[in-house]
Structure 1
Amino acid sequence: MDAYHRHTVTHADHPVAAPLSDRAVAVILDRAVPRDRAVRLLDLGCGEAVWLRRALAARPEATAVGIDLDEPGLAVGRRAAEREGVADRLRLVREDAALHVSDRPAGTVLCVGATHAFGGLLPTLEAAHSHLADGGTVVVGEGFWERQPDAAALTALGCGPDAYDDLPGTVRRVTDAGWVPVYGHVSTAEEWDDYEWSWTGSLARWALDHPDHPSAAEAAATAREHRDAWLGGYRGTLGFLTLTLRPA
């Protein structure tokens, strides 16, 4: 019987674990990671190392390290790196990203959609700075309020209204902390919809295709509950901002 690992299933059709299109990821990487020198990348909360694998595929001199606690996701990343021919330049480590100590600084540090591992946006940036080489760049992805959240959105997300700022407030917090945005991408409604339909659809399809699996009922219920929370709760309220930053 097939093994069940929810994160792998939910991202089968949308490997990037954030509401970002493939084109957006490519543009962000082009702005953040040089192609003309042997840069080192570090991803804190890398999941299946999609960002690192894509960066390495286009930059034959680059090397990368990914940190995550999710061993099944790391295993997926290692197998994919072998298929893609970048495994010799990618090291994936099962470790708490908040506790990671780098053996040498990185030219680009990424943390997209994993700021919770550090307790929020600003602690994430503090941690990223501790791993960053002089003149280096940080890529961070964080939620923000597209509009004032109502009770349905807060219930769906399980948070309070102070969990995020609006877009100007989010950027202001970053700049007040001593960072300079050199690029940014605000996820569109189309990117959000593709991400959420892919997340819930992949999980629902897996449950239908594996009706005898012990986790089938749980998977179907999770897909249904997540879809309801998104459509009836935070759709159009929770935004996502990916910033490319350098220290001031």
Structure 2
Amino acid sequence: MTSYDSGLPPRLGGLTFHGPLSESRADRIAGRLAAAGPADVLDIGCGWGELLLRVLEAAPGARGTGIDINAEDLARGRALAESRGLADRVAFVEESARGTGLGPADVVLCLGASQALCEPGQPHDPAVALRALRSLVRPGGRVVLGEGFWERTPTDAELAGMWPGAHIGDHLGLGALVDLTVEAGFRPVWTETASTEEWEEFESGYRHDTEVWLAARPGHPLAAETRERTDRQRSAWLHGYRGVLGIAYLTLVAAA
């Protein structure tokens, strides 16, 4: 899905997942979730819901709901569900995750979207997000949390190269993050982290279609703005968080 025909810069069409997640890892996660026989799956900040759809494919008795505030991504999710024969088993709902009344569910997915469960205008707090996730899953149910963590303490120069206002308090170390899941009422049954290959595939795929678009349209009215944004994104990765920021995929069981 690209925007070439419209003449506008493309948006995320080259990505399967909106994060450093390989198809093989996603399928393993989906298989483990399906083995528990879930009846329903809730995806928080689902985007176009690729992992949600894979869980439903692996668990043919389950129904799913994805919530997000991005209408374009939700429309893409509905189209994907239709093309894969899943439209009658999944709903994509445009709403805020904070305070949602859609839970509890047997499986809750939250990949790179835990900030949607935190107080607006406040610093991101994974402890707050984990408590919200605990309320959205039934006892014995599974949560898959995709959450950032520091692989190592970033230097001042690396922080300066990241996103605006980046500071050490933005993330925890992996051990401290997993400890928080236990404090929130979970047992961490599977801990895995994105590989360098997954990061490189995501970061390159995130900009691929836009880079091709820019190369072909240097004089387009939107080229200067698009070029500045794309160069800033690439620089933040290569000069900032590459090898410093990790993504953990934690499969958690809600304790009774």
Same fold, TM-score > 0.5, yes or no: yes
Structure-2 separation of matches of 1:25 and 1:123: 26
Structure 2 contact 146–247 (Cα < 8 Å) conserved:
yes
Which range is displaced more, 64-73 or 126-135? 126-135
Gaps of 5+ in 1: none
The C-alpha deviation readout for 1:32-88, integer Å capped at 9, x for no partner, is 2337x4520000100011111111222222110000000011011111111111011
User: 1:20 aligns to what?
Assistant: 21
Structure 1 contact 5–72 (Cα < 8 Å) conserved:
no
Structure-2 separation of matches of 1:51 and 1:3: 30
1:71-220 mapped onto 2 (5 Å cutoff) = 71-102=71-102, 105-119=104-118, 120-155=125-160, 156-158=162-164, 159-209=166-216, 214-220=221-227
Query: Secondary structure at the residue paired with 2:215?
Result: helix
Structure-1 separation of matches of 2:29 and 2:131: 21
User: 1:67 aligns to what?
Assistant: 67
Report the CA distance between 1:174 and its aligned residue.
1.7
Structure 1 contact 19–191 (Cα < 8 Å) conserved:
yes
Cα distance change, pair 218–165 in 1 and its aligned pair in 2 (3 A): same
User: 1:55 aligns to what?
Assistant: 55
Report the CA distance between 1:3 and its aligned residue.
6.9
Structure-1 separation of matches of 2:8 and 2:35: 38
Tell me how large the CA RMSD over aligned residues is: 2.0
User: 1:239 aligns to what?
Assistant: 246
Gaps of 5+ in 2: 119-124
Structure 2 contact 47–73 (Cα < 8 Å) conserved:
yes
Report the CA distance between 1:210 and its aligned residue.
5.4
Structure 2 contact 185–254 (Cα < 8 Å) conserved:
yes
Cα distance change, pair 217–15 in 1 and its aligned pair in 2 (3 A): farther
Q: TM-score, normalised by structure 1?
A: 0.90
* Paired letter, 1:116: Q
Report the CA distance between 1:14 and its aligned residue.
2.2
Aligned identity (percent) is 36
* Paired letter, 1:132: V
Report the CA distance between 1:217 and its aligned residue.
3.1
Query: Secondary structure at the residue paired with 1:108?
Result: strand
* Paired letter, 1:50: E
Cα distance change, pair 208–81 in 1 and its aligned pair in 2 (3 A): farther
Structure-1 separation of matches of 2:128 and 2:203: 27
Q: Which has the higher helix share?
A: 1
Structure 1 contact 184–242 (Cα < 8 Å) conserved:
yes
* Paired letter, 1:2: S
Report the CA distance between 1:147 and its aligned residue.
1.0
Structure-1 separation of matches of 2:52 and 2:106: 13
* Paired letter, 1:81: A
The C-alpha deviation readout for 1:82-106, integer Å capped at 9, x for no partner, is 111101101000001113112x531
* Paired letter, 2:62: A
* Paired letter, 2:113: A
Question: Is 1:41 aligned to 2:41, yes or no?
Answer: yes
Structure 2 contact 38–107 (Cα < 8 Å) conserved:
no
Which range is displaced more, 129-138 or 235-244? 129-138
